[in-house]
Amino acid sequence: MNFKTKKTVALLLAVITVLLAFTFTGCSEKEEVTERVTIKAAGLKGPTSMGLVKLMEDNANKTAKNDYEFTIAGTADEITPKLIQGQFDIAAIPANLASVLYNNTDGQIQVLAVNTLGVLYIVAKGVEINSLDDLKGKTVYATGKGSTPEYGLKYILSSNGIDPASDLNIEWKSEPAEAVALLSAAETGIAMLPQPYVTVACGSVDGLEIKINLNDEWNKLDNDSQFITSVLVVRKAFAEAHPEQIADFLEEAAASASYINANTEDGAVLVEKYGIVAAAVAKNAIPYCNITFITGNEMKTALSSYLEILYNQKAESVGSALPGDDFYYEGQ
């Protein structure tokens, strides 16, 4: 074999080597495509799940990056045992319940994102209420005794120099409908209600109006927290087994929350379609539901401070101990 022939063969071998390298690189890239998995997710009727409806619709249209099985429940008690038992992988639940479950499962529940901020409002009819001070000496109907609405209201009042025990009379009712019935029957009245019951009540009780947004009142206080209603949690074992799929979920859930805030009317139709609340109610309620999507360090700062406030009021409200750093999901 002469020199020219050897040079030609060497050149051909070099070209073949490059082509093979591209071929294997291409195969490797295809292998890195995230595998689709089925994620079983649950949420509550109300704002807790409203931000997920676009993702639910994408799932129905087979355009989501994962396959989902969504369940909308009436109470957290319907979700909690199934989440612990592994029948649900992800759930939208009250923020303090997430901490309770973390403590009760030895850290097997992690929080992925804050998805709803404060949804509590002071409403009134026939009474001049312009500030929290105007509640002094008044009777306020409220729901949520023994849970975050009670702790949140008392914290806000106390932080404004108002003694919840002596400066006003808080009458705790078992459910919002009971408070609305009392407002409807009386000529005057005041109540603390959550969305979307606020929208329903204002639409059915003559003269009833929103007077105070408690989320705004919370934000006026000097602390690093936010008034958090609900969070998205995941079973730690599922998150560890499927980090890429969780990353896709977080991306799509964030986009879903943005969609409903920007497309109230179309979002309301989806809210009704997925059995959360009637579209007519959702359309008016969505702007007041504080649907959001907070992850990472911002989530940790806001949520840890919020849970500390609850803990200082009643330790049992967060599971008798503040959760550790591993409570806050950090991703891959």
pLDDT tens-digit map of 120-141: 999 999 999 999 999 999 999 9
Please give the order of strands across the beta sheet that includes 139-143. Answer: 169-173, 139-143, 189-194, 120-125, 209-213
Residue 29 is predicted with a pLDDT of: 43
Q: Give residue-wise pLDDT tens across range 189-234.
A: 999 999 999 999 999 999 999 999 999 999 999 887 899 999 999 9
Residue 36 is predicted with a pLDDT of: 87
Which residues of the chain are in CATH 3.40.190.10 domains?
38-118+228-327, 120-219
Residue 28 has pLDDT above 60, yes or no: no
Q: Looking at 33-42, 62-71, 185-194, which range is the least confident one?
A: 33-42
* Range 266-273 contact pairs with CB under 8 angstroms and sequence separation of 24 or more: 267/50, 267/53, 267/54, 270/53, 270/54, 270/56, 270/57, 271/50, 271/53, 273/53, 273/57
Helix, strand, coil percentages for the chain (3-state, nearest 5): 50, 20, 30
Q: Looking at 4-13, 147-156, 277-286, which range is the least confident one?
A: 4-13
Q: What angle do CA 99, 104, 107 make, to 5 degrees?
A: 70
Q: Which residues contact 38 (CB under 8 A, 6 or more apart)?
A: 66, 67, 68, 69
Residue 154 has pLDDT above 80, yes or no: yes
Confidence of residue 78 (pLDDT cuts 50, 70, 90): very high
d(CA 178, CA 197) in angstroms, rounded, equals: 11
d(CA 295, CA 293) in angstroms, rounded, equals: 7
Q: Which among 119, 171, 69, 152 has a CA at the least distance from the CA of 277?
A: 119
Q: For domain 120-219, which CATH number applies: 3.40.190.10, 3.40.605.10, 3.90.920.20, 1.10.3720.10?
A: 3.40.190.10
Residue 35 is predicted with a pLDDT of: 84
Residue 64 is predicted with a pLDDT of: 96
The fold of the 38-118+228-327 domain, in CATH, is D-Maltodextrin-Binding Protein; domain 2 (3.40.190)
Q: Which among 86, 152, 87, 92 has a CA at the least distance from the CA of 119?
A: 152
